[in-house]
Amino acid sequence: MQTIKIPKTDLTPSLLCLGGVPLGSVLDERRSFALLDAFVAQGGTFLDTARVYADWLPGERSTSEKTIGRWLKQRRQRNRLVIATKGAHPELTAMHRPRLDRASIVADLDQSLRNLQTDVIDLYWLHRDDPLTPVAVILDTLQDQLRAGKIRAYGCSNWRAERIAAAQACAQSQGWPGFVADQMLWSLAAVAQETLPDPTMVAMQGALFDLHAASGLPALPYAAQANGYFQRAAEGTLDGMNAASRLLYDTPENRRRSQAVQALAAETGRSISAIVLGYLLGQPFPVLPIVGCRTVTQVEDSCSATDAPLHAAEIARIEGRAGDGTPVPAETFPVQ
Ligand SMILES: NC(=O)c1ccc[n+]([C@@H]2O[C@H](COP(=O)([O-])OP(=O)(O)OC[C@H]3O[C@@H](n4cnc5c(N)ncnc54)[C@H](OP(=O)(O)O)[C@@H]3O)[C@@H](O)[C@H]2O)c1
């Protein structure tokens, strides 16, 4: 798999990042290790997890980080991989109460280092934002962690465009690197911010897209495969999809996009997965999709689908726009 250097860092991870939610929760240790082994066998070197994965399930806390930590140790992979994890998520029982204060960030980071059995996190994400905490205060805490050698770089997740712009301006004025990447909900599927099940999540659209396009800030989209919506729509297995995901994605606009994806697949011989990931990889700034595979077959399918970024005209066609941004008349838009 291709690798890509993240600007302002010495990190050169694989283009695809493997999402850690299922590790140690819906997948037991044996199947988690098999998934991680399969990803590495495909050339994957980039893992994404979080202190809170998967604390919404009963039982042990931070099972994803702990499982990755045991796998890294047992397989002696730590120095080959780029490990990204997140902190500063609200308590799951108090999502309205942000945790962007210094004590919470430092406590979360120290816990993640222990869980992952490592001395340093390669890329540390703020999982959420608190618009009432000044960006200078938050960055000052992160810079201290950088200087202490506990993290190599930091990024934001679920931050709105104006807050990222403020943080980057503050970093520049201080001579700090600032956020080296941004993690948001984004895929080929159209999703309205208002329909997200969790209002503290941020979807890629409007001002946020413009910020990435203007600054070249790398995007690491999560739910990058729309939870398998387009593959399931093509196979006719939408009835087996998780109900919440189907509610979010199975809209008239995404049914239309799905027809366009299937038409493009038939014309070009590309797989549905290659078009779904190619849509992100063909954007006008660096994109490293986070894929949430649950089986080894899905890992292999997703990893083999990274070499065909869509052209701007193909992206416009799927979005139902002409290349110049105007809507495409229905009759010129081939559907099956
Ligand atoms: N920053 C944040 O707030 C945030 C939020 C959410 C997630 N994340 C990160 O992003 C990661 C990925 O999120 P996600 O799980 O929503 O991503 P996703 O890749 O869009 O969805 C994963 C689901 O897609 C299906 N799938 C995966 N590969 C497939 C393939 N090759 N062909 C067909 N279907 C396939 C599977 O569905 P089935 O199980 O139905 O087979 C799988 O469970 C997470 O693990 C986490 O690391 C971050």
Ligand 1 atom closest to 225 (CA): 20
Domain segments of the chain as ranges? 17-181+288-305
- Return all residues near 294 (Cβ < 8 A) that are at least 6 apart: 22, 26, 27, 35
**Tell me: the pLDDT tens digits for 101-157?**
999 999 999 999 999 999 999 999 999 999 999 999 999 999 999 999 999 999 999
**Tell me: the pLDDT tens digits for 14-34?**
999 999 999 999 999 999 999
Cα 67 from Cα 3, distance rounded (Å): 25
Lookup: tokens for 114: 């222990």
Q: Does 225 contact ligand 1 (Cβ within 6 A)?
A: yes
Confidence grade of residue 322 (pLDDT, cut at 50, 70, 90): confident
- Per-residue confidence (pLDDT) for residue 84, from 0 to 100: 98
Confidence grade of residue 321 (pLDDT, cut at 50, 70, 90): confident
Q: Which residue has the tokens 């919470």?
A: 104
Tell me the three state secondary structure of residue 86: strand
Cα 71 from Cα 76, distance rounded (Å): 8
- Answer yes or no: is pLDDT of 330 > 60: no
- Per-residue confidence (pLDDT) for residue 326, from 0 to 100: 54
- Per-residue confidence (pLDDT) for residue 323, from 0 to 100: 60
b/e burial code for range 293-306 (CB count within 10 A of at least 16 → b): beebebbebbbebb
For 17-181+288-305, give the CATH class.
alpha beta
**Tell me: the pLDDT tens digits for 80-117?**
999 999 999 999 999 999 999 999 999 999 999 999 99
Q: Which helix (H) or strand (E) holds 123?
A: strand 123-126
Average pLDDT over residues 193-200: 91
Ligand 1 atom closest to 224 (CA): 20
pTM of the predicted protein model: 0.95
- Per-residue confidence (pLDDT) for residue 325, from 0 to 100: 52
Of all protein residues, the one whose alpha carbon is nearest to atom 44 of ligand 1 is 19
**What would you report as the CA-atom Rg of the chain, rounded to the nearest whole angstrom?**
19
Q: Does 246 contact ligand 1 (Cβ within 6 A)?
A: no
